[in-house]
């Protein structure tokens, strides 16, 4: 099974990706993780990407595409994968299609997690992220054992500056605008599955499983 996972910030992509990964024994390819790993391992692409990240600039498409291509060339990809964070628009989707074609890989589904603005704001404004291992928690839905401390590595938790209400509304607007072309692209290929993600994570996962099985 090869899946692209889409959804605005706060729709629960990270959580659902984790459940999908363990339930279907897939690999999780997240562009954010790939970038962090390449930077920390000082690979050729990592060194290039680091320059942009340090300047606070977006990492150019070309670099991200190369990273994805490199990852999709590894043998464990035959297990199936969840692609998360890429593509972000229809031209990237087209590049991905060509990349997969060359590797004889078929993309089965594109899952779009939909959630209302109110739910997203509630989720993101309570989100806390670990500085060390980047794990996500939530003050109400997923509190840590000790307030402000990561359950996994003991690192310090922080609230992302873009997780404030105004910033969230703005990110949602930008996301919806940018993703429109992507939604059209995959609906015309009849690969798009919209999932109502306004529920708790286990409920959403049951829905997901029922459409994928």
Which residues of the shown chain bind Zn ion in the complex (CB under 5 A)? 130, 132-133, 135, 150, 152-153, 155
Q: Which is nearer to Zn ion, 5 or 150 (CB)?
A: 150
Answer yes or no: 160 catalytic. Answer: yes
**Residue 19 C-beta: closest distance to Zn ion, Å:** 20
> From CA 82, how far away is CA 20, in angstroms rounded?
8
Q: Which is nearer to Zn ion, 80 or 155 (CB)?
A: 155
Q: Which is nearer to Zn ion, 7 or 163 (CB)?
A: 163
Q: Which is nearer to Zn ion, 71 or 128 (CB)?
A: 128
Q: Which is nearer to Zn ion, 133 or 203 (CB)?
A: 133
**Residue 114 C-beta: closest distance to Zn ion, Å:** 29
Answer yes or no: 171 catalytic. Answer: yes
> From CA 155, how far away is CA 146, in angstroms rounded?
11
Tell me the torsion sign for CA atoms 75, 66, 192, 103: negative
The phi, psi pair for 160, rounded to 5°, reads: -60, 140
Tokens representing 96 are 């991905």
**Residue 160 C-beta: closest distance to Zn ion, Å:** 15
**Residue 1 C-beta: closest distance to Zn ion, Å:** 29
Name the active-site residue from 21, 37, 50, 171.
171
Answer yes or no: 88 catalytic. Answer: yes
Name the active-site residue from 18, 160, 194, 207.
160
**Complete DSSP assignment for 2-65:** EEEEE--TTS-HHHHHHHHHHHHT-EEEEHHHHHHHHHHTT-HHHHHHHHHHHHTPPPPHHHHH
**Residue 129 C-beta: closest distance to Zn ion, Å:** 9
**Complete DSSP assignment for 196-211:** E--S-HHHHHHHHHHH
> From CA 84, how far away is CA 17, in angstroms rounded?
8
**Is there a contact between 104 and 98 (Cβ–Cβ < 8 Å)?**
no
Name the active-site residue from 18, 88, 159, 207.
88
Positions marked active-site: 13, 88, 127, 160, 171
């Amino acid at each position: 099974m090869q899946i692209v996972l889409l959804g605005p910030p706060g729709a629960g992509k990270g959580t659902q990706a984790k459940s999908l990964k363990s339930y279907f024994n897939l690999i999780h390819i997240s562009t954010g993780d790939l970038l962090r790993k390449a930077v920390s391992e000082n690979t050729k692409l990592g060194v290039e990407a680091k320059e942009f990240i340090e300047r606070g600039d977006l990492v150019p498409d070309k670099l991200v595409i190369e990273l994805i291509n490199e990852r999709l060339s590894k043998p464990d990809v035959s297990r199936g994968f969840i692609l998360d964070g890429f593509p972000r628009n229809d031209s990237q989707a087209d590049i991905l299609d060509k990349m997969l074609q060359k590797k004889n890989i078929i993309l089965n589904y594109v899952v779009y997690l939909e959630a209302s603005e109110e739910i997203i704001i509630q989720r993101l404004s309570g989100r806390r992220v670990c500085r060390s291992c980047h794990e996500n928690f939530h003050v109400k839905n997923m509190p840590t054992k000790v307030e402000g401390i990561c359950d996994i590595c003991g690192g310090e938790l922080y609230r992302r500056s873009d997780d404030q209400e105004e910033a969230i509304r703005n990110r949602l607007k930008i996301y919806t605008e940018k993703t429109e072309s992507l939604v059209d692209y995959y609906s015309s290929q009849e690969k798009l599955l919209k999932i109502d993600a306004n529920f708790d994570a286990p409920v959403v996962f049951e829905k997901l499983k029922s459409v994928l099985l």
